[in-house]
């Protein structure tokens, strides 16, 4: 079964995450995305990549059931080293523009993936949730670097601690997204922006990404690695166990 739809139109590769009902990531979906970005980097016909979600949700982050099924022996560090860490680096290192078309709620690892994209265009219904503390985990998927880089350390910490959603309009005011449009107009607006970029000097855009990566995100790889160490610690603490249990039982977590 495939969870990623791929469609190349006029040099724009649309990658649509389609894993009902909340587009949560499992290993198969992550590996499909890794393969798609690897192919896009090689393909001369692909000049721009658009990443979006099917339905009304961009992405709910990691599938908790998959992690729970791994039991107490799961290594959170090894999981990140094989999944989100290389994917985030692929998105940042591909020398072609990558647009996140955020069509709805975006949380956890899905937030990290959206933040790694070059541009974020959001529908009115989009909401951004750091998410990790809600299940007793530390931020990963580059969120610890990319979120404060965009909205500032104070705001990043506030919404990490509170786990409250950031509405699309606020996200635009703070620089988290580049543009907010009505839900019905998202595909058209993103398509027009992508076609404009595809007709531009994509090779130079790639060099610009290199320059900004070096200037602003020179420690991205080290940060991803450090996140994986911290997640290994958090993932085996009682707080995570209680957070997951509360989430699955649909009740507030009791950490005291």
CATH code of the domain made up of 4-184: 3.90.226.10
Q: Would the pLDDT of 69 be above 90?
A: no
Treating both helix axes as pointing N-terminal to C-terminal, what angle do 109-116 and 84-93 enclose, rounded to 10 degrees?
20
For the stretch 109-162, pLDDT in tens is 999 999 999 999 999 999 999 999 999 999 999 999 999 999 999 999 999 999
Confidence at 256, pLDDT banded by 50, 70, 90 = confident
Beta pairing class for 12-17 and 179-181: unpaired
Rg (CA), the chain: 17
Q: Tokens 């495939």 map to which residue?
A: 2
Instruction: State how far the Cα of 53 lies from the Cα of 125, in Å rounded to an integer.
Output: 13
Extents of the domains making up the chain: 4-184
Structure tokens at 218: 């020179």
* Backbone dihedral region for residue 175 (phi beyond 0: left; psi -120 to 50: alpha; all else: beta): left
Is the distance from CB of 107 to CB of 61 less than 8 angstroms?
yes
């Amino acid at each position: 079964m495939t969870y990623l739809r791929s469609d190349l139109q006029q040099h724009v590769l649309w990658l649509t995450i389609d894993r009902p009902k909340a587009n949560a990531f499992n290993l198969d979906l992550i590996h499909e995305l890794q393969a798609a970005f690897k192919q896009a980097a090689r393909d001369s016909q692909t000049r721009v990549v658009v990443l979006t979600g099917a339905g009304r949700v961009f992405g709910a982050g990691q599938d908790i059931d998959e992690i729970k099924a791994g039991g107490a022996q799961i290594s959170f560090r090894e999981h990140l080293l094989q999944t989100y860490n290389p994917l985030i680096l692929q998105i940042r290192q591909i020398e072609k523009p990558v647009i996140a078309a955020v069509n709805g709620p975006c949380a956890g690892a899905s937030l990290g993936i959206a933040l790694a994209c070059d541009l974020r265009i959001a529908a009115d219904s989009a909401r951004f949730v750091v998410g990790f503390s809600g299940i007793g985990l530390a931020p990963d998927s580059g969120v610890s670097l990319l979120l404060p880089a965009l909205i500032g350390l104070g705001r990043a910490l506030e919404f990490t601690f509170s786990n409250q959603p950031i509405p699309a309009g606020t996200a635009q005011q703070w620089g988290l997204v580049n543009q907010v449009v009505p839900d019905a107009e998202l595909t058209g607006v993103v398509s027009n922006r992508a076609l404009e970029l595809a007709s531009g000097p994509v090779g130079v855009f790639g060099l610009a990404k290199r320059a900004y990566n070096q200037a602003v995100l020179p420690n991205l790889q080290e940060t991803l690695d450090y996140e994986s160490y911290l997640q290994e610690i958090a993932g085996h603490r009682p707080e995570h166990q209680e957070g997951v249990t509360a989430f699955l039982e649909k009740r507030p977590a009791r950490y005291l």
